[in-house]
Every structure is written in C-alpha cells, then in structure tokens.
Amino acid sequence: MTEPARLRIDFVSDIACPWCAIGLASLQIALARLAGRVQAQIHLQPFELEPGMPFDGVDAGVHLMRKYGIDEAQLEANRAAIRERAAALGVTIAYRPGARVWNTFDAHRLLHWAGEQDSEAALALALQKALFHAYFADNDNVADHGVLIRLAAAVGLDANEARRILESGEYADEVRALERRYQQRGIPSVPATIVDDHHLISGGQPPEAFERTLRELAGTPRALHPR
C-alpha cells in the first residue's frame, strides 16, 4: 500500500474573518476527500484584522461600510453571498442587528496554547471552530475572558488553565511574533493557507480548489467527486 503524502499546512486566519471560517471548512472537506492519499497536519497561525479594536467592539455594519467604502445595499449583498457560501459548508454566519466586531488578540493567545496540547492540534481546531461559531452565529464578545474560558472548556480544554493563561498575559509575545512573521512574509490578508512552508493558497477557496491544489502538491492522481 502506498504511504500517504505528508503535508504541513499553516492556516493563517483571524476569528473576525468570515472567509476564514469558510476557508477552514473547505480545507477540512478537501482533506477528508483525500484521506488515505494525503496526511496533513494543520497548524493555526494568528492574524489580526483589527488589532486596535477595543474590548467592547464596534458596530459591525457601520465599521465595514466605512472600512470598504460601501453603502448599506452593498453591505447586505456581500453578507448574503457570505451566508450562502458558508451555509453550503455547514458553517453558520448570522449577521443579526447589533452585531459587533470584537478584538481577537486574547482568543489567539488561547488558540496558541490549545495548539500545544496535542500533537494533532485537534483541540486547537475544535476551539477555532467554536470561536467562529461564537463570533458569527452567537455574536459573543470573544475578547471577554468568561466567553473564552467557556468555549475552551466546551471543547475539552482545562478551564482553570485557560483562565490562568488569559489573566497572566501568557503567549502574548509568541502571538505577536508570529503575526509579524507572516506580515513580513507578505501575507496582506486572510485566510492564507501555506503548504510545506512554500506554497500559498489565498482566500476562502471552495473545497474543490483546495483538493485540486493539495492533490497536485502531493503528487497523487486526480479523482472526480460529485459537485
């Protein structure tokens, strides 16, 4: 039996990025399709879209219209497209009235810690998905330590240790160093999927795009999947 190709995947993302939630879901679907042919280990890497965001956040609609220079109709059209893409992948994006943009730095610190808890980074991936759901489906403040501790416990992480890390400021230097590293490598936006530290897949691509690229990088034959 042929051994599966082993790939390292660095997934650079922010919890505040809906396309990152879409991209991660697509990537995992693609890897499931390639099971037995590709064995990949996903390493979550931090990126803050709004590093200066205050603890209490800001109104999401107002912020996005100002940031991208769009009006309310354009904003709603963009949101509808994102919701549709996400729903097809089983990801809930609910832009409810009063939704806010939250600061994500402490969430990245917690994710960094979670990534050290098991060799397959399964807990970190579970926490990342829980954070996406909290942010986009529940509009929870992911800067709030109580929210972060609850989510950590829900995916099987130690709540007391999560509390200690958040209160101590641990991993702040590591997260900032990683953010600088990817910025210096020319990553201007997220999601950015880096395979074997060399090949870049930009944006929240559909599963087929991830599958095609990973198959090519792994040198495995192409197969057809129903669309």
Q: What is the pLDDT of residues 158-217, one digit of tens each?
A: 999 999 999 999 999 999 999 999 999 999 899 999 999 999 999 999 999 999 999 999
Burial of 58: CB neighbours in 10 Å, binned 0-12, 13-18, 19+: middle
Out of 42-46, 141-145, 207-211, 215-219, pick the least confident.
215-219
pLDDT band at 119 (very low <50, low <70, confident <90, very high): confident
Cα–Cα separations (whole angstroms), residue 165 to 89, 145, 157, 176, 196: 33, 10, 12, 16, 30
How far is Cα 127 from Cα 133, in angstroms, rounded to an integer?
A: 10
Contacts of 149 (CB under 8 A, 6+ apart): 159, 162, 163, 166
pLDDT level of residue 98 (50, 70, 90 thresholds) = confident
Other C-beta atoms closer than 10 Å to the C-beta of 10 total 20
pLDDT score recorded for residue 1: 54
pLDDT at res. 95: 87
**Residue 120: what pLDDT?**
82
Cβ 77 vs Cβ 65: under 8 Å: no
pLDDT, tens digit, 9 for 90 and up, residues 49-92:
999 999 999 999 999 999 999 999 999 999 999 999 999 999 99
Residue linked to tokens 């209160």: 167
Burial tier of 50 (Cβ tally within 10 Å: 0-12, 13-18, 19+)? middle
pLDDT for 85 equals: 97
Q: Which two tokens stand for residue 159?
A: 């709540």
What is the Cα–Cα distance from 65 to 62, expressed in whole angstroms? 5
Least confident of 33-37, 167-171, 211-215, 219-223: 219-223
CATH of domain 5-218: 3.40.30.10
Q: Which two tokens stand for residue 1?
A: 């039996």
- Dihedral, CA atoms, 16, 19, 22, 28, nearest 10 degrees? -90
Q: Name the residue with higher pLDDT: 182 or 226.
A: 182
C-alpha–C-alpha distance, residues 176 and 160, integer Å: 24
Q: How confident is the model at residue 224 (pLDDT cuts 50, 70, 90)?
A: very low
Distances (CA, A) of 35 to 3, 31, 41, 217: 11, 6, 12, 15
Q: Is residue 65 classed as helix, strand or coil in its secondary structure?
A: helix
Q: What percent of the chain has pLDDT over 90?
A: 90
What is the rounded distance in angstroms from the CA atom of residue 127 to the CA atom of residue 72?
32
